Amino acid sequence: MIKHAKTTDGMEDNYTMKIALISIPTPTFNNHGAASALPYHLIKGAGDKARFEVWTYNVNHISPAEVDETERALGVKIHVLHQPWWMTWMFRLHMAVLRMLLRYPYLHYLRLDDEARAEIRAFAPDKLWIYGEETAHLARLFPDIPCVVTMPDCESLHYHRLLGKDFATRSLSQIMRYAWAFWQYRCMERDMRHSHALFHFVGRQDAAFFREVCTEANAVFLHHPLYAHRDKTIRFHQPKVRLLFAGRYDFYCRHGSDRLLEAMLAAADLKSAFEVTFLGKGWEAWADRLCKAGWTCHHIAFAPNYIEELQKHDIQVNAIDVGTGTKGKVLDAIANGLLEMGSPYALENIDVTDGDSCVLFHDADEAVAKLRDIHADVARYEAMAVKGRDAVLRAHDAAGCARELFGFE
């Protein structure tokens, strides 16, 4: 059934569904202090099929001006909810360690006050949408409204994977911290028995791991939507193919990246075939080492126009050691015409196939061997990049993802 409403400019708006979103972060075009881009692009992908109203805890601290900009960009009304006073002071006083005393992750203790509940009821949504695993329990407040909970990852799987990594378990304090977080999330997930809720994940293994502990839950995997892409003629630069390491040099990629870059330094023949750019903070030492070893190397801490900078390169390399869900920077690279060369965690949940539309490697030696093969047969890998782009533009289209999630007519 087509419904009608007046937009803020007085024009008539047609839609098939009204959706009330309760979100931990305020939706933003790019991730800002949280995984805040996913709800933004699902709303955008829905287009005129739905009318949204948003209630946000704004844990990513988006300014009032930025909230207004998001309202205008998406055509939605946003209500900013209050966080509990103790939660605010816990961080102001640098007492976050107190989270260890809680049975559940601290964001689970966010509440919806009577005023917000009344506003949601007055909006009369056809569907309730909750964004963030920790607030899934809010579905219980609206048992009469069909509900979708976008997790979007299974956090207990994240800590389970960390506990299986040598680099993450080298001290007793690390083990205790990750084990406690695993226990908190697993306890919370055991209590997620909302018969009317659909639990939405952007990771296949995330959904499967969740089902193991919450067997009564209806959990589904759906592809992660694309954020932004532009057309590009795919032709690798010569005489040196341009490699890109994008994202912050942090705990999750440091160990795999270190091993790969050490192997590249040892393979002297590669420096005449490739140049390297690091896009993100923390790569200064590696950029310096490669330059001193005779490589053509660049370091860009921040790019004002990320997609424009991305498309100046040919191959993105991602050696992430651990993770869950879908890696947005990998998806961005493939959609924008780069060949993705990544670890299993980098490429999981993206609709590409090793040797056909992407390059998968399991260790540094295998990665170096594949770089040599790329140099020997550039045309084959250019064709692979084309197939990768076509695959993700088809499977990860935001409109299609929104349609599948919300069940639009």
**pLDDT tens digits along 185-239:** 999 999 887 668 999 999 999 999 999 988 888 999 999 999 999 999 999 999 9
Given a cut of 80, is residue 292 above it in pLDDT?
yes
* pLDDT score, position 103: 84
Given a cut of 50, is residue 10 above it in pLDDT?
no
User: Chain-wide mean pLDDT for the chain?
Assistant: 93
The span from the CA of 39 to the CA of 152, in Å, is: 10
CATH architecture of 3-226+398-406: 3-Layer(aba) Sandwich (3.40)
Torsion of CA 71, 74, 80, 86, to 10 degrees: -130
Q: Work out the average pLDDT over 62-74.
A: 96
Q: Report the predicted TM-score, pTM, of the whole model to 2 decimal places.
A: 0.92
Do the beta carbons of residue 72 and residue 44 sit within 8 Å? no
Give the torsion sign (CA, 330, 252, 149, 212): positive
Residues of the chain with CATH 3.40.50.2000: 3-226+398-406, 241-395
CATH number, domain 241-395, options 3.40.50.2000, 3.30.830.10, 3.40.1440.10, 3.40.640.10: 3.40.50.2000
Residue matched to tokens 């966010």: 110
